Each structure stands twice: as C-alpha cells, then as structure tokens.
Chain A
Amino acid sequence: MPRLEDVEVGQRLPTVEATVDQAQLIRYAGASGDFNPLHWEQRFASLVSPTGGVIAHGMLNMARVSGLVTAWAGGPTKVKRLAASFRAPCPVGTTVRYGGEVAAIDPATRTATLSLWAELEDGSRVVDRRSSRAVVQLD
C-alpha cells in the first residue's frame, strides 16, 4: 500500500504480459454476461469487426489493467476512478502488454493519478495511455 511520501511522478507499475485466446474471451463472456458474438463468432465478426475477425472485449483489457492498479494500490477499495479508452482493436490470439505509471500526485487529497495502457507487440494502443487513467487513494 503506497504512502503519499513514497510515491513519485514517473514511478512505474510492474508490467504484465498475457495472450488473449478464444477460451479466455468465452470465459469472460460467461462471467460478465457480455455475449456479443463479435467476441466469439468469426462469421459475425467478419461483418462488423474493424479487423474482420474476432476481437477481445475492451472490458477484459480494462479489467486486467485494473488488476495492476489494485495490486499496486493495496486493494479495490483504494480505486476512486477508472477510465479506459479502447483505441485499437485487440485481435484474438495476440499478446498484450499491460502497464501503468504515476502521472500526477495530489497531496491535498492524498491521491495519485495513474496513466494506464495495454499495447500489442506492434505498439497498437488497445488501452490508450493518453486517455486512460486511474485515481487511487494513497495511505
């Protein structure tokens, strides 16, 4: 649980890498109730997907980034705000790198604003670091 006094702008959260496979998307669909066939049916995805194929739920990538935040912050009760911008599509089967960095600190409220991202190996911004943020209560 980071204390205000120990946190600096530019400090990075540990990066995590994970591959998004079809089984995970089906599992996420079941857990969240989001059964949009864009995330599991190639025929439907070929009609509507920006890639022409099955893509991951934006909210699954947001959840994984959020997991980095809660681990760093000391649990879900510390998270006051979360915002994610799903800029690039995340094709099924790709490897995603998730990360975050302290962007600002407010000593008055003892909060830190983190910038967050999820990126593919080619640099595509699945969760765009320019507009994805978390506000975290510090100790």
Chain B
Amino acid sequence: MREYALATGGQDPVYTADPADVPPEEVVAPPTFAACFTVTRAAEVLVADTELGAHPALIHSSQEYDFHRPVRVGDVLECTPWIADIVSRTRVELLTLQVDCVDAGTKDPVVTGRGSLVFLTGSVAGSRGETNHAPP
C-alpha cells in the first residue's frame, strides 16, 4: 500500500508513517488501490484462459468502483472475477469484467469493480499471446 501510494503521487503522510506512530490496521487504502486486486489480477486470469481466447493486446477503456466499506491493511478479501458482457465489433471485442470482493471472514461486500476491456482484433489477434512480443 505504501509503494502504491508513492507510485500514484499520494501525498497523505499516513502511507509513509512509521508503524510505531500509525498502527497498520488503521491505514485505509487509497480507493484505487483496489486496482491491485481487481483489474490486474482479473486480467491475468482472463489472459491465462486459453479456452476464452483473450490475449494481452488489450486496452482498458473504463473502470468503476463501488466501495461498500473502506479497505484496511490486514484485510483478507475474496475476489471473484466474472464476465458481465462481451460485445463483438468489426475490429475489436469489448469485454466487461466485474470483480466482486468480499471480506473473507464475514462474506460482507467490500468493493465491487467493473471494468471495460477492449481487445484489438484483426492483424494483432492473428498473433496471440507471447508472439505479440515479437517485432513487427
């Protein structure tokens, strides 16, 4: 959380405070810290699913979060990604990826994330996955 706050230009001294001064369990995550356990992890799951045929040539076109309660250091969350929608267009496929995050103990909702991913098709889709790292 400290590294995330620094990487995103966070100014709140709570993220760099000595744990002796600010107990970690009192530190509330920046709202978009949810990216670390929603967008990033869910995209990995998608791209790893060979049956689905997703590939890393994707662009993140929108993202929304509903926060049911703040996320704190020490929280254990259970995050379930699921495909809410897929729309195929001529040159792209639009995939709506929802991630439901609940408290692992109580199962109470914590964060709901909903993101739109645009998968580019055509010339790029012909060379899936790691082959995209090859030069043009």
Report A's interface with B, CB cutoff 8 A: 18, 24, 27-28, 30-34, 36-38, 41, 43-44, 46-48, 50, 57-60, 62-64, 66-67, 69-71, 75-77, 79-86, 89, 131
Contact = CB atoms under 8 A, between A and B. Distances in A.
Contacts of B7: 24, 27-28, 30-32, 60
A47 B57 contact: yes
Nearest to B127: A47
Contacts of B6: 27, 31
A33 B40 contact: yes
Interface of B: 3-4, 6-12, 28-32, 35-36, 39-41, 43, 56-67, 70, 120, 124, 132-133, 135-136
A47 B124 contact: yes
Contact of A59 (B60, B120, B124): B60
19 contacts: A30-B3, A31-B6, A32-B39, A33-B36, A36-B43, A44-B132, A48-B124, A48-B132, A58-B61, A62-B63, A63-B9, A63-B30, A64-B9, A66-B31, A76-B29, A79-B67, A82-B32, A83-B62, A86-B63
A84 B64 contact: yes
The binding surface of chain B is classed by DSSP as mixed
Nearest to B29: A76
A75 B35 contact: no
B40 A34 contact: yes
A59 B28 contact: no
Contacts of A18: 9
Contact of B32 (A30, A46, A63): A63
A67 B9 contact: yes
A48 B57 CA distance: 6
A30 B57 CA distance: 20
A67 B11 contact: yes
Closest 3 CB pairs of A and B: A31-B7, A83-B64, A63-B8
Given A47-B57, A48-B124, A31 B31 contact: no
Contacts of A50: 59
Contacts of B57: 47-48
A60 B63 CA distance: 12
Nearest to B55: A48
B60 A58 contact: yes
A81 B67 contact: yes
Given A47-B136, A67-B9, A76-B31, 20 more contacts: A18-B9, A24-B7, A30-B7, A31-B4, A34-B35, A36-B43, A37-B56, A43-B136, A46-B136, A63-B32, A66-B30, A67-B30, A70-B30, A76-B29, A76-B30, A82-B31, A82-B65, A83-B65, A86-B61, A86-B62
